[in-house]
Amino acid sequence: MEIGIFGATGVIGARVVAEAQQRGHRVTAFTRAAARFPADRGTVTWKVADWLDADSIAAAITGLDVVISAVNAGHGIADTIANAENFVVGAQAMVSALERHPRIRVITVGGAGSLEVAPGVQLVDTGADFTRTLTEVLEVPAEYAEVVRALRDALNVYRLSNRHWTYLSPSAGRIEPGERTGRFRIGGDQLLVPADGAGDISAEDVAVALIDEAEQPRHIQRRFTVGY
């Protein structure tokens, strides 16, 4: 399978590249600057592409079967907050690009804030409880809520499209490098809360979930979640 990965140098993206390679797929990795290409590229094809520009995306993904987007809106928390709207701009650009490649599927990594904690109640809309999640669990400023809302808006961009999209919202606190277990739960629009209260999931297992979905699509035009 021909798989393209945006955000290929990030925490999640780099592990998606490795997971896809390990399973024998042909991988094209995208980044916004050639200076970020690794010295040892192995069998991966590296290309420059702008995830905020539909023309750039459309040209870059020609010939691919699946595109995985694991981009971030900025470098560091403050920069990501300042550029949160880029998540929406990027989703709009991707949908526009896919109109020129209607057979290509896209799988996008989003956030947990739009998952439901009760029927019709999303985590981001729980007021003080959500603020505590940001500041005490994730240890980010309360202003990070702007990022969470932008990721929800990006999901809605896909939902209003007729493209072959899938949106992964991990049910997790932090997503950091860790162990590849290949063992996690899969859900839909509801937040998965582990019995032991530990909300993190490794970037390696997020990568497993993404390549599983690429190989065996189960959530076309749907959002899904993963968690321990």
pLDDT digits (tens, 9 = 90+) for 74-91: 888 999 999 999 999 999
Residue 193 or 142, more confident: 142
* Chain segment 94-149, per-residue pLDDT in tens: 999 999 999 999 999 999 999 999 999 999 999 988 998 899 888 899 999 999 99
**Mind listing the pLDDT tens digit for each residue in 151-161?**
999 999 999 99
Token reading at 7: 């955000």
Rounded Cα distance, 191 and 115, in Å: 5
- pTM for this model (two decimals): 0.94
Answer for the pair 74, 81: CB distance below 8 angstroms, yes or no.
yes
Closest among 78, 171, 86, 143 to 69, alpha carbons compared: 86
For 127, residues 6+ apart whose C-beta sits below 8 A from its C-beta are: none
Comparing 215 with 39, the larger pLDDT belongs to: 215
Reported CATH class of domain 2-227? alpha beta
> E strand or H helix at 8, and its extent?
none
Q: What angle do CA 99, 190, 136 make, to 5 degrees?
A: 105
